[in-house]
């Protein structure tokens, strides 16, 4: 159950980071109101706080989180940008998640 909880926390963290970066993108590229930067800042603060909830070393958490981030970013591409991921996108996600699992749950010296 700890692995599922860790994975879920990584997913929430990835969503917070993506939202925190996507909103300024909308402001810069699609001429949205600067007010959109306020929820972006809140989302990025939430992202940092969520990363701090993991009990293991920060560097390991950041490295493993990257694998989950790749998967959530591809889902974002599909759900928000309306672009259907390719087979190679999904293979890349699988490779990233395997790497994440090795980093987080591998044997320690």
pLDDT digits (tens, 9 = 90+) for 74-84: 999 999 999 99
Percentage above 90 pLDDT, the chain: 61
Classify 14 as helix, strand or coil. helix
pTM of the model: 0.83
**How many other CB atoms are found less than 10 A from the CB of residue 81?**
9
Q: How far apart are CA 59 and CA 44, in angstroms?
A: 18
Closest CA to 80 of 10, 12, 19: 19
């Amino acid at each position: 159950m700890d692995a599922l909880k860790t994975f879920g926390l990584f997913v929430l963290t990835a969503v917070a980071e993506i939202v925190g970066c996507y909103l300024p993108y909308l402001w810069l590229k699609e001429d949205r109101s600067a007010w959109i930067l306020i929820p972006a800042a809140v989302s990025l603060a939430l992202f940092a706080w969520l990363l701090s909830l993991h009990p293991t070393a920060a560097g390991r958490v950041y490295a493993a989180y990257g694998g989950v981030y790749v998967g959530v970013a591809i889902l974002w591409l599909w759900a928000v940008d309306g672009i259907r991921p390719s087979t190679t996108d999904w293979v890349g996600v699988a490779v990233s998640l395997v790497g994440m699992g090795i980093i987080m749950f591998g044997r320690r010296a």
